A and B are shown apart, each in its own frame.
Chain A
Amino acid sequence: MPVESLFPRLEPLLPSVQKPIQYVGGELNSQVKDWDGTDVRWALMYPDAYEVGLPNQGVQILYEILNEREGVLAERTYSVWPDMEAVMREHGIPQFTVDAHRPVAAFDVFGVSFSTELGYTNLLTALDLAGIPLDAADRTGEHPIVVAGGHAAFNPEPIADFVDAAVLGDGEEIALAITEVVREWKGEGSPGGRDELLMRLAASGGVYVPRFYDVTYLPDGRIQRVAPNRPGVPWRVEKHTVMDLDQWPYPKKPLVPLAETVHERFSVEIFRGCTRGCRFCQAGMITRPVRERSITTIGDMVEQGLKESGFQEVGLLSLSSADHSEIGDVAKGLADRYEGTNTSLSLPSTRVDAFNITLANEFSRGGRRSGLTFAPEGGSERMRKVINKMVTEDDLIRTVTTAYENGWRQVKLYFMCGLPTEEDEDVLAIAGMAKRVIQAGREATGRKDIRCTVSIGGFVPKPHTPFQWAAQCDHETVDRRLKALKDELRGDKEYGRAIGLRYHDGQPSIVEGLLSRGDRRVGKVIRAVWEDGGRFDGWSEHFSYERWTACAEKAFAGEPVDLDWYTVRERDEVEVLPWDHLDAGLDREWLWQDWQDAVDETEVEDCRWTPCYDCGVCPTMGTEIQIGPTGRKLLPLSVV
């Protein structure tokens, strides 16, 4: 049956909403496939505003891979702003895709990519607008299978009531595998209905179906056990790891929006995974091992991506881009190729110790030398040992001195506040570091216009990291330390005015902490917050801490748990964690040992350059480190 476009009904309403262009689709390289010519149809969602969601790499990659397949169709949908939500409710318009404006409920699979837990309430808005029951248990054969992915899906328990399934890790292969299961099941006439489809997905071992697991609790509130409740369902569900990134050179045809979005550039992942071992970093833990994309594939992707998009900027993405084994040749090769074309290169996520000035000069050849960003993360040497961010203050000073000598005037430094074992002086040490940076810059250049911006984020303990057992710092303490730091910087006549300080208050981190390490009982809080009007929790103008605490208090009434129990409580080694049955490959004993090492201020080296320290990922997942150098170089492009 053809599915009608909702656009004719939507169009007359668009003049009344903000930035209507975000709802009309038609982006360059977007596609609309024939509905009836396909038998498996995915609606892909990034649960945030279009301007944030459109550039998301994960969604763009899956969109392209799925649409390349014969008989498979994928369209995109994003969170609508509250003004649009009101208009849609008033006129009975369901959640729609931006490609062909089809109702999300008409698709077979509704895949939602969660980069952050703060998107959970937006999932509920989308489900509700789509006419899909919020409770997975209430859905029938008429409704799509709702699948969560992305980093937050490594602990999907807080949204276990609302999703049918969750997928851990790289999406490329598993999205296609799910497609085949759905295709086969539909081809057989959908035997056994929704339950059988979910069972087939669960039995494959690569898809987590929460309803097939029962969670029991101890009287004190801790989890007693998580166990399959039917035969054929695996005890543990494993993450997916794509090996050989050169086989998956996506996106090939990046989406180019008409609306303004947060990243206006063509991004290429130059590698996945990171083994630097920063203990706070969930991404670095769950994306192991390091798999590099080769210099030649990077070159080909940049060439094709720029041609297909017309973007003026190329971002070389990864968790620590300067660590690519051939980053120098990549930078030089690209800078040579695009010299004189007003194409700029950017290298987000550069480590202080991996930075070198030759590299920085290559990246700024396209023109700008605006600012350099480094992330020491911890203000004191002791703090950096705890988090295993092995960068010394002298490293940083050396690096920024070179940068200032070479014409940069501004350095940005990222830190975290509220780290495990943190004391007031660890945070105050940030001020000392920033002052030394300015001092070094002034000495190196003899100029007064040296600037340094200090950005501070609140630390949230995440699942599958050594800090998964840690007590989260309460927001009062975080705020107090940040205020002391601010006073320290403001009060400094010599350097204070050269240092900018950016930070957020500590309350949103507590809610993020609840959602990150929560279990299935947290679902009630999410629902209550959503019912009370909670939307776009990642946006400070929409976020309400009071709403979250009030709803948590109500939802947990009569339970042995509360907001503090989930956040500021330290866990012991034997406690069953809500995500223990979800396997990121990391050996639990190794994680615990690394947590003990953190407390003892003992550092761990990177396994790319030192012997394996048995984190467990490679043997468990059957993967290996894939790094260069390949020894190949980028050749100049032939003139067209």
Chain B
Amino acid sequence: MPEGPAPAPVIQRLRVRYAKRGRLRFTSHRDISRAVERAVRRAGIPVAFSGGFTPHPKISYAGAAATGVASEAEYLEIGLTETRDPARVQADLDAALPPGLDIVDVVPAGPGRAGDAQARPAALADRLEASEWRIRLDGVAQDAAAAAVAAFMAAGSIEVERLTKKGRRRFDVRAAVSSCELDRRAAEAADAPCAILRMVVRHSTPAVRPDDILTGLRQVADLAPPSPPLVTRLAQGPLDAATGGLADPLDPDRETGLPTGDDAGPAGGARPRPGDPASADAVSA
């Protein structure tokens, strides 16, 4: 058995929204987790460790965008052995990470359900019901893309095939897509002729990924982009049934107003809203 005292307990849990941008979108999930661990050490953040022969820092990830996919809204949770000001953690961690892996928001995890304050905070992953995606298709005409989207949304179900960990699987991609629109304004402002799609996709099993939707678009409308699509996750969060949009998954933590350390400023004063990086509005289908 390992000698010495038990590892220091977790005193504070921070929920972190981060982005992977530009060329850093080619990082895999494992690359990111190594980079975050090293950044935590460089930044001197008092991360808690698991016990055992090979102690691991207590950092957990809620889902992860695939290698090659950019994201404005990835989430992780980190356990600290001391209380820290979230704004300071945000600044320090961001400075210690390579440019392109950027910390967007840090919020202390709220307590569990009312009357159950000792319980672990409600799992962040459970709040990530859906993702908003932006897919830029270079060399695709806007009208062709619009027609394909219309055909896609009009279909009752669209079966595609993909090689998953469990082998080749066939599944419906249509049901998971709650909205899908062409963003003409953004495409017109782009540096090269392209079509830009924005869509909200529910997280399901098997996961419906942006490339599955592109497969679906090819099946229903022969949409075949000449170069690889540029995919960006704009937001993740609870799906608002009324608007079809996504809420900020960290809002419930903010609302519970846990103490956040001595000199903490107002938590998330200038916090980003889901979908902020792009100008156009996603419209419900």
Contact = CB atoms under 8 A, between A and B. Distances in A.
Contacts, number: 73
A19 B96 CA distance: 23
B34 A260 contact: yes
Nearest to A22: B26
A307 interface: yes
A260 B99 CA distance: 18
B26 A24 contact: yes
Contact of A20 (B53, B55, B68): B68
Contacts of A1: none
A20 B67 CA distance: 9
Interface of A: 7, 11-12, 14-16, 19-21, 23-28, 256, 258-260, 264, 306-312, 342, 367-368, 370, 640
B41 A260 contact: no
A303 to B, nearest CB: 13
Interface string B58-98: 00000000011000000000000000000000000000101
B98 A367 contact: no
A310 B23 contact: no
Contact of B38 (A12, A24, A309): A309
Contacts of B30: 260
Interface string B226-257: 01100000000000000000000000000000
Nearest to A259: B31
Given A15-B68, A256-B38, A258-B31, 5 more contacts: A20-B68, A21-B31, A24-B26, A310-B39, A368-B54
A24 to B, nearest CB: 4
A308 B42 CA distance: 7
Contacts of A14: 26, 68
B185 to A, nearest CB: 23
Contacts of B67: 20-21
A12 B98 contact: no
B206 interface: no
Return the 7 tightest CB-CB contacts between A and B, nearest first.
A310-B38, A310-B42, A310-B41, A20-B26, A15-B228, A24-B23, A21-B26
B221 interface: no
B24 interface: yes
B23 A640 contact: no
B100 A26 contact: yes
Contacts of B41: 306, 310-312
B135 to A, nearest CB: 13
B99 A26 contact: yes
Interface in B1-35: 2, 23-24, 26-28, 30-32, 34-35
Given A12-B227, A14-B68, A24-B23, A367 B42 contact: no
Contacts of B228: 12, 15-16
A19 B98 CA distance: 18
Contacts of B96: 310
B129 interface: no
Contacts of A25: 23
A258 B24 contact: yes
B31 A27 contact: no
Given A309-B42, A367-B55, A27 B98 contact: yes
B102 to A, nearest CB: 13
Contacts of A20: 26, 67-68
B133 interface: no
15 contacts: A19-B28, A21-B27, A21-B28, A21-B67, A24-B24, A258-B34, A260-B31, A308-B42, A309-B42, A310-B39, A310-B40, A310-B41, A342-B57, A367-B2, A640-B44
B152 interface: no
Nearest to B7: A342
B260 to A, nearest CB: 23
A11 B23 contact: yes
B91 to A, nearest CB: 17
Interface in B130-175: 138
Contacts of B227: 12
Contacts of B35: 258
B38 A311 contact: yes
Contacts of B68: 14-15, 20
Interface string B252-270: 0000000000000000000
Contacts of A28: 38, 98
Contacts of A640: 44
B256 to A, nearest CB: 31
Contacts of B55: 342, 367
B67 to A, nearest CB: 7
A407 to B, nearest CB: 10
B37 interface: yes
B53 A258 contact: no
Contacts of A16: 228
A342 B26 CA distance: 29
A12 B139 CA distance: 12
A370 B54 CA distance: 10
A492 to B, nearest CB: 30
A26 B44 CA distance: 22
Contacts of A367: 2, 53-55
Contacts of B32: 258
B195 to A, nearest CB: 16
A28 B38 CA distance: 10
Contacts of B28: 19, 21
